[in-house]
Structure 1
Amino acid sequence: MTAHESTLPTQFDGRHVNGFPPEPGHHDALAVRHTLAVAHRDAGDLGRAVPLLEAVVTDYARVLGADHPDTVNCRRNLAATYKAAGDPARALPLFEAVLAHRVRALDADHPSALVSRSNLAAAYRDAGDPWRAVRLLEAALAGAERTSGGHTAPPRSASVARVRQARH
């Protein structure tokens, strides 16, 4: 343990806070539950991931507030999990809410908002609405170009690369 860590009021080792198990709604317990749910999703166990993430989103909103960054990030993970489960009816409204929050809280051209716009585009593409996906990706690309002075890095996804090719 570093000197800085020893001055922190709460010590968390992944299972205990100051030697005691955290309360179910404690922020550290929520973080571990969130990580566990994402691990289930990444392992392909969507049946376990979905209810865990649904509960954690609800608890994060209750404990930290609906607009807290951890709540919004968990909401994004729940949307991604619904998308992975092939449930666009539940994924799309959450991706929309995450984008709206990030635009409101950060800025339309903030990197997190641009990624959220791209995530929403991918969800629309997978839901069978490729033209809405293209419009969202074009908006994300325009935002990226505005914030980089027109000098964007090589695209990180094939979707953005296709939009760039279509525009030039």
Structure 2
Amino acid sequence: MAPIRERPERCEGTEGEEQPEILTARDDLAAAHQAAGDPGLAIPLLERTLADRVRVLGEDHPGVMASRINLAGAYQAVGEPGRAITPYAEALIQLMREFGTDHPLTVRVVRTLHALLAERDGGAHPGP
């Protein structure tokens, strides 16, 4: 994983942290950490990428939505489902606006968010 780990740092040194390619490289590195079974290393990268994408690309950019979903998934993977609720809810707003309520990704996020809320509240949420 050394080449992918070096990619964001190599790019940041030459192009600046606000380049979309750097944001993508950081996101790719986080995905590699998750795939390797270490979502804890992915979380700081995902948090930073989300903040930078919001600042650089704007709230409504598809990359921001993807970053929110990725971050929420990483929170779930490390056993912190409560932290996943906000990024999923924010992504859901974008998904519904961009794709509507019947899009498969919208449906998946609705179901995941429902399950997280039910878990948090002891099963007190009706089905989606």
Shorter-chain TM range is 0.7 to 0.9
Aligned twin of 2:111: 118
Q: Are residues 106 and 75 of structure 1, via their aligned partners in 2, closer, same or farther at CA, if it must alter by over 3 Å?
A: same
* Deviation beyond 4 Å, 4+ runs, structure 1: 14-17, 125-131
* Residue 45 of structure 2, aligned match among 46, 49, 52: 52
* Residue 39 of structure 1, aligned match among 32, 35, 40: 32
The alignment partner of 1:112 has SS state of: helix
Equivalent positions of 1:7-46 (< 5 A) are 21-46=14-39
Larger radius of gyration: 1
What runs of 5+ residues in structure 1 fail to find an aligned partner? 1-13, 137-168
Q: Deviations over 1:110-150 (max 9, x none)?
A: 23211221332343465474463x612xxxxxxxxxxxxxx
2:70 is aligned with 1:80 = no
Q: State the aligned residue count.
A: 120
Please tell me whether the aligned partners of residues 22 and 28 of structure 1 are also in contact (alpha carbons under 8 angstroms): no
CA RMSD after TM alignment = 2.4
Q: TM-score, normalised by structure 1?
A: 0.61
Aligned equivalents of 1:61 and 1:28: distance in 2?
15
The alignment partner of 2:15 has SS state of: coil
Aligned twin of 2:62: 69
More helix by share: 2
The alignment partner of 1:108 has SS state of: coil
